[in-house]
Amino acid sequence: MIVRMDELHIEPKDIQDEFEVLKEGELFLTTFPNGDVPDGNMGGLGLYYRDTRFLSCLEHYLENTRPVLLSASTRGSHFGQVELTNIEMRSADGKVVPMQSLHLRLLRVMRGSFYQRLRLINYNVFPVTLHLRILMAADFRDIFEIRGTERARRGDLFFPVSTESCFILRYRGLDGIVRGTRVAFEPVPDDLKLEVDRALATFKITLLPHQKQYLTWKITPLLNLDAGESLECRNSRAVALSFFNTAVEQARDYRKWQTDCTTFSSNNDLFNQMMERTITDLRSLFTSYTEGTIVEAGIPWYAAPFGRDSLITSWQTLILNPDIARETLRYLKHYQGTEVDESRDEEPGKILHELRRGEMAKCGEVLHTPYYGSVDATLLFIIVLGELYAWTGDKDFLCEMQEALHKALMWAYHYGDMDGDGYIEYLRKAEGGLTNQGWKDSWNAIVDKNNALVSPPIALVEVQAYYYYALVVASRLLRELGDVTEAERAERKARALRDQFHRDYWVSDGEYYGLALDGNKNLITTVTSNMGHCLFAKIVDPDIARKITDRLFQPDMFSGWGIRTMSKLEKAYNPMSYHNGSVWPHDNAIIAAGLRNYGLLSQLEQLADSLYNAALHFNYYRLPELFCGFTRRPIGGPVRYPVACDPQAWAVGCIFTLLQSLLGITCSPEGLQIKTPVLPSWLRELNIKNLRVGNGIVDLGFARNRGRTYCYLLRKEGDARVTIEI
């Protein structure tokens, strides 16, 4: 019989609100800081591949005790290290082993498989004999099931196959695919107990004083096994060497990534660490599939291709590495809608919302094969294509995307604008699809003043702003491509949209923009952050931009850590909700870009300061997907949202938007422009190197002196053109 946690007489662990993440390609691991994945957890911890949890338990025991955490860290987003020690315990031969006299170090890396090396040292003056036990299990649950989607039934588990150094846990899903988790050890366990979904490996170890013992194991997700045959489980004699080689290869690849990216260095060590982590986080989320490469949305819930999230992250990171945008656009073009399919909310020219590859997707239990229920991704596709062209001047790529650009515009004209009124609306058609299809896509995000759900079709305020921006961008790109007729058509639609927008969305007695128009064209006057995105899209006049900004920075909207998604004065407000009062970093970063558009620099600096100081309270100085909207107090930091993704791509990427906005950096076919740069109070000096502009490279230096920021051109290679206006 397997030894379970309750049989080991361990007190239940306190709930922890932080977890460590390792990711490479389609494989990722989430654990508590002590390195464990608790047995039976439904909180998202585990080893995942293609939307399936291949490891649902990983627990370490010294005899019948749990090691104590000393520290945990992830270096460069790809290499984990956990330091552990012992409580007072009895050894296998009955000796009392004092607390903190044994040291365990876990080193972890991933590349196709998950590798872990454990080093155990005895700091006692006497030999210690003990049993090291590793409890592992695989529930093979789909990510949607873990998130709470109920299933009428599941597939079948098969008894593991094994050799003395290796075993495979197996599951045949309802999709007919047999998935397996293969675990190989070096050295071989002294005892291996197997049940249908779990294994307990026991190593009997004798350590002389100050002696070290190394154990390595390799955990590999497997697909398309043949459950009817006796599967061979080969002995793995080179697991330790494979761990070492993988660690070296990963470190090399990450160094190359950093070399290919723009570099940022300042006088602020905390900011430097923040930037270094951000750059490596993006590398871990930039994932290759057989059909292309795309930046995934976030871990653990959204480690998959997302239209909106991936596009916004691509826009944020043009200053870092335009390859992110280029490959993401190519990937999304591959899945651009081709037909009207109401079962997936698909329409010709539409950009996907989400794509999944797990058992529930293959069985049709979820719609994401792909699912197209996003009203703004297609507009953002056009915007990002235009911004990428402005940075790179890559005419060949623009020609490659010409057909996709045309299809995206046709979607907006014929499907996005459902009733021909010049606005883009959404209405869910797919059974089980998203009710709300803007970026605030939770079921209760779009409500009126009485906290009643808004009746569709719904025309969100920020979506009209995106549409305007997309039309302006499209007209410019179409002229570059020689399609003057379609360029003029886009220009006419942009003018018409701008002319009617203010009339239909302005709330005169509050001097702000409402949230949306409902299905009867009634204005929903709920006060939300959505209006701030209009500044980003430059659809409003300067005097209106100032009024919107004033509304966003009133105490009911500005928490001190950032702008809330919804006003505290609204009936639906809840600072702990997903979309109705929380603070989303990417939402704030888009607003920050809008503040720069209208020269509202004091508010921009205030917003950037709030987000920077919020980041200092989170692990690795990394802003999570969202955090609670409680008002900032003199003591304490922002309040965590309990199930926020971390890292989340567009939260990670927002630091680049904030920095670019502060420094007044823009790019156009005329070259790079720096206008009225502002270094915030937490930066005195900043150097930006290896910045790609057109076919050239630029290095810039910024320095703040007596309240004024200066910019210096340090290096220019190729045909990059640079204009600096202080």
**For 39-56, what is each residue's pLDDT tens digit?**
988 778 999 999 999 999
Cis peptide bond prior to 370, omega within 30° of 0: yes
> The tokens 């056009």 sit on which residue?
382
pLDDT of residue 720: 85
pLDDT of residue 75: 87
Mean pLDDT of the residues in the chain = 93
Sign of CA dihedral 373, 379, 382, 387: negative
- DSSP-assigned letter for residue 39: T
**What is the Cα–Cα distance from 615 to 32, expressed in whole angstroms?**
20
Residue 247 has pLDDT above 70, yes or no: yes
Residue 162 has pLDDT above 60, yes or no: yes
Residue 661 has pLDDT above 70, yes or no: yes
For 678-699, how does the pLDDT look when each residue is reduced to its tens digit (9 = 90+)? Answer: 999 999 999 999 999 999 999 9
For 595-609, how does the pLDDT look when each residue is reduced to its tens digit (9 = 90+)? Answer: 999 999 999 999 999
**What is the Cα–Cα distance from 116 to 35, expressed in whole angstroms?**
10
**Tokens representing 390?**
């402005």
More confident residue, 173 or 19: 173
Residues above pLDDT 90, as percent of the chain: 90
**What is the Cα–Cα distance from 191 to 134, expressed in whole angstroms?**
11
Q: How far out from the chain centre does Cα 313 lie?
A: 9
Model's pTM, two decimal places?
0.94
Give yes or no for a contact between 130 and 106, defined as CB atoms under 8 angstroms apart.
no
Query: Is residue 269 classed exposed, middle or buried when 0-12, 13-18 and 19+ CB atoms within 10 A define those classes?
Result: exposed
pLDDT of residue 289: 95
Homologous superfamily assigned to 5-227: Glycoside hydrolase, family 65, N-terminal domain (2.70.98.40)
CATH class of 267-663: mainly alpha
pLDDT of residue 273: 95
Sequence ranges of the domains in the chain:
5-227, 267-663, 670-726
For 223-236, how does the pLDDT look when each residue is reduced to its tens digit (9 = 90+)? Answer: 988 755 445 565 55
Per-residue b or e along 281-314, where b marks 16 or more CB atoms closer than 10 Å to that residue's CB: bbbbbbbebeebbbbbbbbbbbbbbbbbbbbbbb
| First-to-final CA distance of the chain | 74
Residue 433 has pLDDT above 90, yes or no: yes
Stretch (H or E) spanning 674: strand 671-675
Region 271-291: mean pLDDT is 95
pLDDT of residue 237: 64
Q: Closest by alpha carbon to 335, among 295, 305, 365?
A: 305
Give the 3-state secondary structure of residue 76: coil
For 303-312, how does the pLDDT look when each residue is reduced to its tens digit (9 = 90+)? Answer: 999 999 999 9
Residue 18 has pLDDT above 80, yes or no: no
pLDDT of residue 355: 97
For 56-106, how does the pLDDT look when each residue is reduced to its tens digit (9 = 90+)? Answer: 999 999 998 999 999 999 988 889 999 999 999 999 989 999 999 999 999
Q: CB within 8 A of 607, min separation 6: which ones?
A: 562, 563, 588, 591, 592, 595, 658
Confidence of residue 238 (pLDDT cuts 50, 70, 90): confident
Give yes or no for a contact between 310 and 296, defined as CB atoms under 8 angstroms apart.
yes
**What is the Cα–Cα distance from 118 to 102, expressed in whole angstroms?**
13
Rounded to 5 degrees, what are φ and ψ at 267?
-80, -5
**What is the Cα–Cα distance from 346 to 374, expressed in whole angstroms?**
10
